[in-house]
Amino acid sequence: MEIETGHGTPGYLRQSEIKAAVAEVEQLLAPDVVHIRYEVTHDWSGDWAVYFRVLLSDEASKPPRLHEIAQTVEREMSDRLDFLELGLFYYFHYRSQSEQNKIKEKIWA
């Protein structure tokens, strides 16, 4: 299934735009945001989606900061990327540095 966007390019092929937005948001929100990883793939319903994995500092992971930083990350990403135009649904997942240090899941590294 190919998703046509306003530019005639399937959203899953326009990953350079996603990569640039991720780099900007990482820089803007450091040191609270350690890094953002992403993957463009099909979601549970078969639609194209981008899954963001946001690694947060331990300080940013604590309430009430977690809610605040999560909203900021999602707003900043949405300001830079027109997900509708890209033909992508989007999902954000968050993890603290200490949580990642215990789990050591490679996809989050």
**Would you state the pLDDT for residue 11?**
65
| Bond prior to 63 in cis (omega within 30° of 0) | no
Average pLDDT of every residue of the chain: 89
**pTM, 2 dp:** 0.88
- At residue 90, the 3 state secondary structure works out as strand
Q: What is the pLDDT of residues 36-82, one digit of tens each?
A: 999 998 899 988 899 999 999 999 999 989 999 999 999 999 999 99
**For residues 4-26, average pLDDT:** 76
At the second CATH level, the architecture of 11-100 is 2-Layer Sandwich (3.30)
Q: Which of 36, 49, 54 is nearest to 83 (CA)?
A: 49
Going by C-alpha positions, the residue among 81, 14, 12 that lies closest to residue 41 is: 12
- Structural domain spans, the chain: 11-100
